[in-house]
Amino acid sequence: MKALGRHLLIELYDCDSKILADVKKVEEIMVEAAKATKARIVDVIFHNFKPHGVSGVVVIAESHLTIHTWPEHNFASIDIYTCGAKIDPWQAYHLLRKRFRTKKLTALEIKRGVL
How far is residue 108's CA from residue 65's CA, in Å, rounded to a whole number?
A: 15
What are the CA-CA distances from residue 42 to residues 37, 64, 115 (Å)?
14, 9, 27
Annotation marks residue 68 as catalytic: yes
- How many Å is the Cα radius of gyration of the chain? 14
Q: What is the DSSP letter of 62?
A: T
Annotation marks residue 15 as catalytic: no
- Of the residues 17, 68, 73, 77, only one is catalytic, namely 68
Q: Active-site positions?
A: 63, 68, 83
